[in-house]
A and B are shown apart, each in its own frame.
Chain A
Amino acid sequence: MSNVIPLHGDPHETAQRLLPWYVTGTLDAAEHRLVEDHLAHCAECAADLAGEERLRAEVAALPDAPPERPAAQWELLRERALASAASSRRGTSWWSALPTGRRIALAAASQAALVLLGIGVYDRLRQPAGGDYHTLSAPSAKGEQGGNIIVIFRPDSPEQAFRATIDAVGARLVDGPTAAGAYVLAVPNGRREAALATLRKRADIVLAQPIDGERAE
């Protein structure tokens, strides 16, 4: 995503084109300011803003056709998912390559992984042992940082390879692995985007995501 906003051109025209997203509050700070500044001294845009707010409210309030039997829809999808999982087991995915006993163990362990990731890690990251509560994105007093990236390595990647990968992006291993091969890494916040970009390019990584809800730039 580009951080450079083209500010060339007529500010009136720019404001006109950005108004819908100004109304929904989805512009970035610079664009928001640009529209706001223009609205202060353009009567036409100020009048359009009122109409725009009204239009948004009317569209958002339009009645929705209720979905047909949502429970039945899920049952349908569930059957498809089960059938597809069964047939992919005969295929060549890493999952299907495992012996049946191991697969069952892994499925059970992934429940445990949720406990680790969903409750254990998040709570620990949000409330470090030090005691005082702070959110992940806030730097801690000691300069120590909690995990802010989750990565999943290919199940067949050798341990030295992923150690090297973690070192290459200047990350620290905070937690993992879970049954599904997920690790929680910590990188300094300013370098997180660069680290994520590098991680996603590595062949031994299948997923790399920020985990504290901070929006990626």
Chain B
Amino acid sequence: MSGDRQARFEQGTWSDEPALLVRVRAHDLAAFERLYRRYHPRLSRFVTSLVRRHGLVEEVVNDTMMVLWDKPESFGGNSKLSTWLFAIAYRKAVKARMRDDEPVADEEAAERADDDAAPPDRDFGRQRTAAILQGAIGELSPDHRAVVHLTYFQEIGYREIADILGCPVDTVKTRMFHARRHLRRKLSGELADWI
């Protein structure tokens, strides 16, 4: 969106966000759409790492955005908007998971790893690594997966991750430590230079 390109993004804060939030408080749909389009890709990717099933991902993301629309006053501004949204999405994803009870997601990832084990084209190595990594991530618990995703993909610091997941910072560090060990062990069989 051209409007977003004009908005300045500085040290994790969009310069136009306070103004957009003011408008959302007045139930301005255009401002809400702007925030939705800005956060939807990041939120869906995060939620996908937790629940996988597509219909459920959209449901969780939309429920999350509806909190902003229905109760904008519950965002007090003492964290970044992204942290606040991620935290809501996390809690909703955990609930949705319990409701949905789907161990299927993890099996799917493992199956994908097997299916893609020998792609016949020249990106053989790359795709194989990606497939193995995908499978290894699928073997992690959702909480470990969330930390890996927020750290590597969203590039969020561990303190903010602790805020999002509602857990102590040491728990974040410990989960990450174990998750990395698992992933690197899985990949080390694949590539000689992994160690």
Q: Interface residues, chain A, CB within 8 Å of chain B? A: 1, 16-18, 20-21, 24-27, 47, 51-52, 54-56, 58-65, 67-68, 70, 73-74, 76-78, 80-82, 84-85, 88, 95, 106-107, 110-111, 113-114, 117-118, 122, 150, 152, 178-180, 182, 196, 200, 206-211, 213-216
Contact = CB atoms under 8 A, between A and B. Distances in A.
Given A17-B177, A213-B15, A56 B22 contact: no
Contacts of A182: 18, 22
User: Taking chain A's interface residues, is the majority helix, strand, or loop, or is none over half, making it mixed?
Assistant: helix
Contacts of A51: 184, 194-195
Given A1-B159, A182-B22, A111 B28 contact: yes
B23 A110 contact: yes
A84 B26 contact: no
Contacts of B88: none
B66 A209 contact: no
Given A17-B177, A107-B26, A215-B13, A56 B36 contact: no
B69 A84 contact: yes
**Residue among A24, A95, A178, A196 with most chain B CB within 10 A:** A24
User: Taking chain B's interface residues, is the majority helix, strand, or loop, or is none over half, making it mixed?
Assistant: helix
B22 A117 contact: yes
Contacts of B57: 67
A149 to B, nearest CB: 9
Interface residues of B, number: 66
Interface string B68-81: 01100101111000
Interface string B158-181: 110000000000000110110010
A26 B155 contact: yes
B82 interface: no
A152 B151 contact: no
Contact of A81 (B18, B29, B151, B173): B29
B85 interface: no
A113 B23 contact: yes
Contact of A95 (B12, B27, B65, B149): B27
A101 B8 CA distance: 35
A66 B16 CA distance: 27
A207 B75 contact: yes
A67 to B, nearest CB: 5
A54 B194 contact: yes
Contacts of B124: none
A73 B40 contact: yes
